[in-house]
Structures are given as structure tokens and as C-alpha cells.
Amino acid sequence: MSGVFDFSSISEKEKNILSIVRNIGGHLTDTEIIALYRISANLPENAKILEIGSYRGRSSNAIGHAIYNSNKELYCLDIWKDYNVSKESALRCDSNTHNIELTDFGVLKDFLKNTNWFSDNLRILKGSTSMFKDLLPNNFFDLIFIDGAHDYDNVYFDIKQALVSLKSGSILCGHDYHSQGVGVIKAVNELVFQNPNTRSHATIPETSLWIATFN
């Protein structure tokens, strides 16, 4: 993936993608949108992608622009509830909520609206990772992106499941590896960065994304 994380140059296509995706509510920065798009665009034809935590579809759209009109598939797994129960929740921390109903159903409707344009490539799984743990196939996904609940226990569980469902040699990555993401950092360090089966790992420059490949 040489050059994928060189953000000094952004193509006209990527600029156009940014102009669309940044209007969708969510918490990925512009650089993170481009990084996720490039990772997904470099996947092989017929690749299967799992996104754990989709919210309103900002990251889903970054991936969607890379897989549209291809045989690649994106599986979006999210509970789509409890977004408005605490002041730390994704909905309350979202500065772009003027155009949606401030309820769980409003978030889900907005996700469906934002992802409808690439629905042929999309598979929607409504529920938690634990609800789907017996349904998610082993050794199936070429890329898994983790951005669900950010406490240690949930991130730990999501990564444990991802390690089972990920193909050998494929990519696992996630969001919020930063100073406020204590639970994220602890779980990622323990299960990914210190994993003897990890082939390579890094944090992506200018972002709070982490990424790894496995033997």
C-alpha cells in the first residue's frame, strides 16, 4: 500500500468525494475519509468488508465511493440505538444534526438515505457484534473497520470477533486511537499491536486511525 498514506497530494476524484462525504454527520476528519477510501479502493475485486459501527454513514460512504460499481460488498453492523442517552454519545457530539430527527430512528433513517446510492453493494446488520457472533463467518472478510462503542470491553470484544472473521493476510483497522480513547488504545495494543500473529501495524499519520495486517 505504498503511497496510500501520503496525504500531501489529493486527486480531483478524492476532492469530489470529500465534498460529498463531509456533509454527512459523523466524526471522521477529511484525512480519515481519504485514508479509508484509499484502503478500500486497494482491496481485490470481490472483497468483503465489515464495518462495526456505522452511525449516519460517513465512514460507510468513504468505503462506498471505493466499491461502487464493483463486486465488493460492505457489511454495516450497528445497533442504531442509544445514540441520545448520554452527553458523550455520537449524536450529542455530532455538530451536523440540523437535518435529522434527533432520535435513534432518525439516525437509522439518515444512514439509509445516505447509503441508498450504493445499496447494491451494501448489506445491513442491525444489532451488536455479540448478537451476530455466531452468524459472522470465519476467515471471510478482507477488511474490517472498527468504530463502534469506544470503551475497553466493547472494543476488546469487537477485535476478538474481527480476528476470527478476518481472512489471513487481510486488513484490520479502526478509529479513535488518540489521547481520549483510552479504552481503544488499551484494547488495540493488547490484541493487535502486541499480537504475535500481527504481520505489520501502524497508526496512520494525521489521523486517529490504526491499521494492521495478520499472518
Structural domain includes residue 1: no
Structural domain includes residue 6: no
The 10s digit of each residue's pLDDT in 128-154 is 999 999 999 999 999 999 999 999 999
Structural domain includes residue 56: yes
The mean pLDDT value of the chain amounts to 93
Number of domains in the chain: 1
Structural domain includes residue 112: yes
Largest Cα span, the chain: 46
Of the candidates 199, 154, 152, the one whose C-alpha atom is nearest the C-alpha of residue 53 is 154
For the chain, report the end-to-end CA distance as a whole number of angstroms: 17
Tens digit of each residue's pLDDT, the chain (215 residues): 556 899 999 999 999 999 999 999 999 999 999 999 999 999 999 999 999 999 999 999 999 999 999 999 999 999 999 877 655 567 777 878 888 888 889 899 999 999 999 999 999 999 999 999 999 999 999 999 999 999 999 999 999 999 999 999 999 999 999 988 999 999 999 999 999 999 999 999 999 999 999 98
Structural domain includes residue 58: yes
User: Would strands 166-174 and 141-146 be described as parallel, antiparallel, or unpaired?
Assistant: parallel
